[in-house]
Amino acid sequence: MKQGVAPDELTRPFWEAANAGRLVIQRCAACDRLQHPPSRRCGECRADTALEWRQMSGRGVIQNYAVVHDSPVRLLQADQPFNVAVIALEEDSDIQMYSHLPGTPVDEVPLGAAVEVIFEATANGQRVPEWRVVGAEA
Amino acid sequence: MKAHNAPAAMFRANEGMGLWEHRGKVAAVGIGHSPTARRWDGQPETSVGAISLLALRRAIEDAGVDPAAIDGLVLDPTTTTGAHWPKGRPVPAEMLNAFAATDDPLDGLAQLSAPWVLKNMPELSGVKFAMHGDGCMTRAICVAAQAVGDGLAHTCLVLKAWHNYAGRYGQGGASAGDALPGNVAIRALWGTPVCYGTALQFAEYCRKYGKRHEMMAPFMENSRRNGLLFPEGYWAQHRPEEITAEDYNAARWIAKPANLLDNDLPIMAAAAYLFTTADRARHMRQKPVYILGHASSRTRTRSMTATLDEVEADTARTARKLYEGAGISAADVSFENMYDGFTLFHQFHIEGLGYRGLKFGEALDFYQTDISIAGPNPVQPSGGNIGCGRTRFWMHTDCIQQLQGRAGRRQVTGVKPEVAVSGGPMPMGGDFMVWSATPG
Ligand SMILES: [Zn+2]
């Protein structure tokens, strides 16, 4: 099971949206540019005034992956080995999120496959965006 | 004396800056290393503070200078990447008794500061310039080279040290907790070990260029072989074990395709150098090794982990900056000592440099040829972190020693050592040096 989350000021909208079943990503309105992980400033224009949260479609593709056999995180060690994939979002393929790809067998990750967002509970009940291969069994 | 972090302006992070204004005017004239250990045994005399003082004194002695004549000190205050002193654990009384303290009780125990060093080395009575180059030995070297060139100091010590405690590296702190702060959780909830990003990039590299993990084996064998010829190194001192292809291919996965041996071993060690002006260097004991240039990468990854495209664009950019500043081309490089902790990114560094004409995707085939210190194409004659333990400084010591002709049994014999490159840590995000046997 994933560790719990204590939302901080910067990322609270991301976590609150996840609890409501929505995926939101930070966007700089001045540059019309998405960024993830969230930051206090736009990575392009460095402005801190034009950042907003934009809802995503929840669709993406699997860009890359590695298989974790030795995690530093105690709560995940019972699940080893496990996939950690990189998901590229449909809205901007340069924006990435990590995923354990629930339902996908270890080291049998279909690169390039379409995925859709789901929301999974962590140790303290906070929900977190996860990704499932489209058409795979739940 | 207070010491601040080096300002961004001291680093050459942009293209088009032309020749380094102090090219060939700053030289390394002394090297000092402490003994190595796997972990701290709790004694003051083996603490990270003590081994730092030892390395500094050895560098001064090696250069044959009067400590009172030294006017600069640059060090990296951070002495670990994953072995943290637990919050609230008291500082051992033995440590408090053994050293002059600063206002931060963790100095000398779990970190360093220039004031701590100066308090505990009263012989450094002439230091007027002290600065921190936080992150790596290479960063501290850039700062010291720039400081000497700029005239902020004429004779400057550079120090990097590492501590390591009992327990598994990186598993304390947040990793052991039940909840993470939101900003940390965005990346850390997936439980990836530190080598994960490099593993991703290597996986992409293998797919793009049709390479396999097993093709790294000759690099591993060569690195450890060279490291066992480095008497200052951990493996030579404590575990003189070669790595065979069988060992490498049988090692357990950490984040497949990165295995245990692709990760360097955390150790305790300290190294120091003495830099001075080229004019002063001529009258000192050791043959000077001149700095032709330094360059830095401060490129930000667009999202979670740099893609192969981002890495390759940045290593090529770093090479252009480095060669432009030093006034050389890839053809001038006698040998390379780019960083290797993790092994699976060494090829990004040397392909970006175009070492021996390498293009992207060619390094693993290059590793199947003669890359030994006896051949015409030495790869990492230092042995790097794989050959000597995690410090990020073997590469620099080796460049200096090779160009001085005092690398001992590790001395390269297949090439004339004239110009060498070293640096890191990451292919995307690091600092890099060009060293030369002559002022250029
Ligand atoms: Zn912007």
How close does chain B come to A135, measured CA to CA in Å?
Answer: 23
Could you tell me the residue range of the domain that residue A32 belongs to? 12-133
Kindly give the interhelix angle for B308-326 and B346-353, rounded to the nearest 10 degrees.
Answer: 50
pLDDT in tens, A2-19: 999 999 999 999 999 999
Task: List the single residue in B with minimal CA-CA distance to A66.
Answer: B256
Residues B120 and B198 occupy one common structural domain: no
pLDDT tens for each residue of A81-126: 999 999 999 999 999 999 999 999 999 999 999 999 999 999 999 9
Q: How far is B92 from chain A (nearest CA, A)?
A: 28
- Provide, as residue numbers in chain A, all residues whose Cβ is less than 8 Å from the Cβ of B208: none
Nearest to B255 among A11, A66, A98 (CB): A66
* Structural domain span for residue B344: 193-264+297-440
The reply to whether B291 falls in a domain is no
Q: Are B36 and B163 in contact (CB under 8 A)?
A: no
- What's the confidence (pLDDT) of residue A137? 57
Say whether residue A98 is in contact with chain B using an 8 A CB cutoff: yes
- B239 and B344 inside one domain: yes
Q: Which of B281, B315, B335 is the last residue of a domain?
A: B281
Q: Output the pLDDT for position B304.
A: 98
A93 touching B (Cβ < 8 Å): no
Of B247, B281, B315, the one marking the end of a domain is B281
In a domain, B412, yes or no: yes
Q: What is the DSSP letter of A134?
A: T
Report helix, strand or coil for A7.
coil
ipTM here: 0.97
Please tell me the distance from the alpha carbon of residue B56 to that of residue B122, in angstroms, as a whole number. Answer: 13
Q: Is the CB of A11 inside 8 Å of chain B's CB atoms?
A: yes
Give the CA angle between residues B97, B98, B100 to the nearest 5°: 85
Task: Dump the DSSP string for B374-418.
Answer: TSSS-B-TT-HHHHH-B-S-HHHHHHHHHHHT--GGG---SS---
Q: What is the pLDDT of residue B176?
A: 77
B350 and B206 belong to one structural domain: yes
Closest CA to A37 of A20, A22, A24: A24
CA distance B93 to B90: 9
* Cβ–Cβ below 8 Å for A68 and B177: no
Kindly state whether residue B186 falls inside one of the protein's structural domains: no
What are the chain B neighbours of A37 within 8 Å (beta carbons)? 183, 186-187, 303-304
The pair of structure tokens assigned to B427 is 């292919």
A27, A28, A93, A96: best mutation site toward chain B, by most B Cβ within 10 Å? A96
Based on the domain organization, do B16 and B124 belong to the same domain?
yes
Count of helix runs (H) and strand runs (E) in chain A: 1, 9
Mutate to test the interface with B, among A73, A107, A127 (most CBs of B within 10 A): A73
Closest-CA residue of chain B to A89: B303
Which residue in chain B is spatially nearest to A123 when comparing CA positions? B178
Type of residue found at B89: R
Residue at B53 is within a domain: yes
**How many structural domains is chain B composed of?**
2
**Which of chain B's residues have a Cβ under 8 Å away from the Cβ of A73?**
175, 188, 191
Flag if B186 and A67 touch (Cβ within 8 Å). Answer: no
Q: Which of A4, A63, A111 sits opposite B179 (nearest CB)?
A: A4
pLDDT of residue B251: 98
Locate all alpha helices (DSSP H) within B251-307, ordered by sequence. Answer: 278-281
> Which chain B residues are closer than 8 Å to A82 by Cβ?
191
Give a yes or no: residue B292 inside a domain: no
Residues B274 and B303 placed together within one structural domain of the fold: no
**Contacting residues for B240 by C-beta, under 8 A, at least 6 apart:** B228
pTM of the model: 0.96
- Given its phi and psi angles, is residue B400 left (phi above 0), alpha (psi -120 to 50 degrees) or beta? alpha
B18 and B99 share one domain: yes
Domain count for chain A = 1
Instruction: Tell how far the Cα of A42 is from the centroid of ligand 1, in angstroms.
Output: 5
The size of the A-B interface in CB pairs under 8 A is 140
Instruction: Tell me whether A57 touches chain B (CB under 8 Å).
Output: no
Does B184 reside within a domain?
no
Question: How close is the nearest chain B Cα to the Cα of A74, in Å?
Answer: 5
Q: Is any Cβ of chain A less than 8 angstroms from the Cβ of B181?
A: yes
Q: Which helix (H) or strand (E) holds B279?
A: helix B278-281
Q: Is residue A2 part of a domain?
A: no
Q: For residue B193, give the nearest of A14, A70, A75 by CB distance.
A: A70
Cα–ligand 1 centroid distance for A95 (angstroms): 15
- Are residues B22 and B102 part of one domain? yes
Whether A3 is covered by a domain: the verdict is no
Which of B340, B339, B383, B379 has its CA nearest to residue B358? Answer: B379
For chain B, 440 residues long, give each residue's pLDDT as a single digit of tens: 789 999 999 999 999 999 999 999 999 999 999 999 999 999 999 999 999 999 999 999 999 999 999 999 999 999 998 888 988 899 999 999 999 999 999 999 999 999 999 999 999 999 999 999 998 999 999 999 999 999 999 999 999 999 999 887 777 677 777 899 999 999 999 999 999 999 999 999 999 999 999 999 999 999 999 999 999 999 999 999 999 999 999 999 999 999 999 999 999 999 999 999 999 999 999 999 999 999 999 999 999 999 999 999 999 999 999 999 999 999 999 999 999 999 999 999 999 999 999 999 999 999 999 999 999 999 999 999 999 999 999 999 999 999 999 999 999 999 999 999 999 999 999 999 999 999 98
Task: Verify that B156 and B218 share a domain, yes or no.
Answer: no
H or E segment to which residue B315 belongs:
helix B308-326
Same domain? For B93 and B216 the reply is: no
Closest Cα in chain A, distance from residue B208 (Å): 12
Q: Are B271 and B305 in a shared domain?
A: no
End-to-end alpha carbon distance in chain B: 36
The reply to whether residue B171 touches residue A37, judged by beta carbons under 8 angstroms, is no
Q: Do B193 and A64 touch (CB under 8 A)?
A: no
Q: Is residue B411 part of a domain?
A: yes
Decide if B186 and A14 are in contact by the 8 Å CB cutoff.
Answer: yes
Contact in structure between B393 and B383 (CB atoms under 8 Å) = no
**Per-residue pLDDT at A88:** 98
Partner residue facing A15 (CB), from B176, B182, B258? B182
Ligand 1 centroid to B95 CA: how many Å? 49
Domain of B318: which CATH number? Answer: 3.40.47.10
Quote the pLDDT of residue B124. Answer: 98
A71 touches chain B (CB under 8 A): yes
Inter-chain CB proximity B200 and A66 less than 8 Å: yes
A26 touches chain B (CB under 8 A): no
Q: Is A100 on the interface with B (CB under 8 A)?
A: yes
Judging contacts by C-beta atoms under 8 Å, the chain A residues touching residue B301 are none
